[in-house]
């Protein structure tokens, strides 16, 4: 739509507001004028409700024919104000909210949040607890990547491997059911440990899952990795140079597909990752195809990590022995006086960390998931900032889209793999 047509429309109907979004879209003078009205640039609104945007992501695309000239992502359609809610709830009360951040991998969010609070109150957790956390965090990585690649498959029209990926994901959800009694909103970790030990039944079903997983993933890869349509649609699409990725603050698979072997599990090992043997897959072409390969190979590494953890895990306590900070077992709360008092104090007044600030981050499936907590000594955090990887990764979406075809937008969104629950907080 050319400038004077819009002016004329505004004159006719003053209720059409010139929104700031539209102004930002028009800020750079990129318009090319043609004689034919159909050749002019147009603005296309994609989302927030759109099957290919993976949640309520809204994109404003400025098109020249079929080419995207500029793309502006618009966030906030799933903004629930979790940072404000955190200031009004105790540290324990916030755990269920973390499930709903990146709702495709609730376990990893639980682990990241619990670790951040434990760092703030200087709490060490026993080895078995740490191994359990590594296992659930890696299961969450597989779970999230399976959906990411499955969604990429179906966005490109391949339904069979999508169903196979979802079938594997269902098995992980069933394992969560055995571990903590919930499939989606797990809320499994507690400050100072986990809510309950992992049963032998759950361990054996994890073992069975991992054993079958390599073959089942390979089945999907056999269908897709050398599929000509898939490769042509992905290769070179959404390219962004490694320097630009760093400049725009991207993390996770996106920068590992751009040639950086950056992974918090290696650079700043937390839990027991320094005792486990795994590789960080790195690709260099920084397009949608290499991001897909990074995700697939990360899943294989995660399966390797889980195998090692199960082997190394010994029976023992899972929770830290610090009754003033760690919730006691429910059975003991009902029968013992001391535990009843501690439970009452912890639930009503919180863990009361020392005055200070702390930052702790884990490598989640999307990138660096961090929590910056400021404590004023009371049971509520004074400020809790969520460093959500999807939010930062979305910042790269605009530059990645510039110059691509409108059909490729779907592939690029799939390769960035944003989860709006996390990006909007």
Partner 1 sequence: MTEERFNSIKNNLRDFDLAYGNVNGTHDITIKKEDVLKVGNLLYNECGMDWMVDAVSVDRYKKQDRYEMVYNLRSTKHRDRLFIRIKLDSKEPQMETLSGIWESANWYEREAYDMMGITFLNHPDPRRMYMPEDYEYYPLRKEFPLMGIPGSIPLPNK
User: Which parts of this chain interact with partner 1 (CB under 8 A)?
Assistant: 19-21, 24, 75-76, 79, 81, 83-85, 87-88, 119-120, 246-249, 251, 260, 262, 267-268, 356-359, 368, 370, 372, 374, 383, 385, 387, 391-392, 394-395, 424-425
Query: Tokens 């000509």, residue?
Result: 228
User: Which CB, 294 or 309, lies closer to partner 1?
Assistant: 294
The least distance separating partner 1 from the CB of residue 359, rounded to whole angstroms, comes to 6
User: Which CB, 372 or 405, lies closer to partner 1?
Assistant: 372
Give long-range contacts, CB 8 A cutoff, 24+ apart: 264-271: 264/361, 264/362, 264/363, 264/368, 265/363, 268/361, 270/115, 270/360, 270/362, 271/111, 271/115, 271/130, 271/133, 271/134, 271/137
The least distance separating partner 1 from the CB of residue 75, rounded to whole angstroms, comes to 6
The least distance separating partner 1 from the CB of residue 367, rounded to whole angstroms, comes to 9
The least distance separating partner 1 from the CB of residue 86, rounded to whole angstroms, comes to 10
User: Which CB, 89 or 143, lies closer to partner 1?
Assistant: 89
- How many helices, marked H, and strands, marked E, lie in the chain? 19, 8
User: Which CB, 268 or 338, lies closer to partner 1?
Assistant: 268
User: Which CB, 85 or 347, lies closer to partner 1?
Assistant: 85
**What is the rounded CA–CA span in Å between residue 342 and residue 326?**
9
Contact (Cβ atoms closer than 8 angstroms) between residue 119 and residue 200: no
**What is the rounded CA–CA span in Å between residue 18 and residue 25?**
11
Structure tokens at 246: 């760093």
Phi, psi at 384, each rounded to 5°: -130, 115
Query: Tokens 């460093």, residue?
Result: 387
Give the three-state DSSP class for 62: strand
The Cβ-side half-sphere exposure at 122, using a 13 Å CA radius, reads: 4
The least distance separating partner 1 from the CB of residue 149, rounded to whole angstroms, comes to 25
Contact (Cβ atoms closer than 8 angstroms) between residue 379 and residue 52: no
Contact (Cβ atoms closer than 8 angstroms) between residue 130 and residue 315: no
The least distance separating partner 1 from the CB of residue 364, rounded to whole angstroms, comes to 13
Contact (Cβ atoms closer than 8 angstroms) between residue 133 and residue 193: no
User: Which CB, 150 or 396, lies closer to partner 1?
Assistant: 396
The least distance separating partner 1 from the CB of residue 328, rounded to whole angstroms, comes to 27
User: Which CB, 59 or 156, lies closer to partner 1?
Assistant: 59
Q: Which residues pair with 383 in a beta bridge?
A: 374
The least distance separating partner 1 from the CB of residue 92, rounded to whole angstroms, comes to 18
User: Which CB, 57 or 149, lies closer to partner 1?
Assistant: 57
Secondary element (H or E) of residue 372: strand 367-375
User: Which CB, 262 or 305, lies closer to partner 1?
Assistant: 262
The least distance separating partner 1 from the CB of residue 383, rounded to whole angstroms, comes to 5
């Amino acid at each position: 739509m050319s400038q004077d047509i819009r002016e004329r429309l505004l004159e006719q109907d003053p209720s059409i507001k010139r929104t700031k979004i539209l102004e930002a879209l028009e800020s750079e003078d990129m318009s090319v004028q043609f004689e034919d009205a159909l050749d002019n640039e147009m603005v296309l609104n994609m989302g927030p409700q759109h099957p290919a945007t993976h949640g309520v992501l809204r994109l404003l695309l400025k098109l020249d024919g079929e080419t995207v000239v500029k793309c502006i992502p618009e966030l906030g359609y799933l903004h629930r104000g979790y940072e404000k809610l955190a200031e009004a709830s105790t540290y324990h009360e916030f755990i269920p909210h973390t499930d709903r951040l990146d709702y495709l991998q609730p376990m990893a969010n639980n682990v990241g949040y619990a670790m951040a609070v434990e760092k703030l109150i200087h709490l060490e957790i026993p080895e078995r607890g740490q191994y359990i956390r590594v296992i659930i965090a890696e299961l969450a990585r597989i779970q999230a990547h399976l959906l990411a690649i499955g969604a990429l498959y179906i966005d490109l029209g391949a339904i069979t491997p999508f169903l196979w990926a979802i079938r594997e994901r269902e098995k992980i959800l069933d394992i969560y059911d055995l571990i903590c009694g919930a499939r989606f909103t797990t809320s499994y970790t507690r400050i100072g440990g986990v809510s309950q030990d992992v049963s032998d039944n759950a361990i054996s079903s994890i073992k069975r899952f991992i054993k079958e997983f390599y073959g089942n993933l390979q089945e999907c890869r056999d269908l897709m990795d050398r599929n000509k349509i898939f490769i042509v649609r992905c290769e070179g699409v959404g390219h962004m140079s490694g320097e630009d990725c760093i400049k725009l603050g991207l993390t996770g698979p996106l920068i590992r597909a751009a040639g950086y072997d950056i992974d918090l599990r290696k650079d700043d090992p937390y839990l027991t990752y320094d005792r486990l043997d795994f590789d960080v897959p790195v690709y260099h072409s920084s397009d949608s195809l290499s991001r897909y390969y990074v995700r697939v190979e990360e899943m294989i590494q995660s399966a390797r990590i889980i195998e090692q953890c199960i082997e190394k895990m010994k029976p023992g306590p899972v929770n830290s022995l610090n009754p003033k900070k760690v919730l006691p077992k429910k059975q003991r709360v009902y029968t013992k006086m001391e535990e009843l008092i501690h439970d009452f104090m912890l639930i009503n007044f919180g863990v009361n960390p020392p005055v200070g600030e702390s930052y702790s981050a884990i490598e989640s499936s999307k990138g660096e998931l961090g929590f910056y907590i400021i404590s004023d000594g009371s049971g509520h955090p004074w400020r809790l900032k969520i460093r959500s990887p999807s939010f930062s990764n979305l910042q790269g979406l605009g530059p990645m889209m510039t110059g691509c075809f409108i059909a490729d937008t779907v592939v690029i969104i799939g390769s960035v793999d944003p989860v709006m629950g996390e990006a909007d907080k």
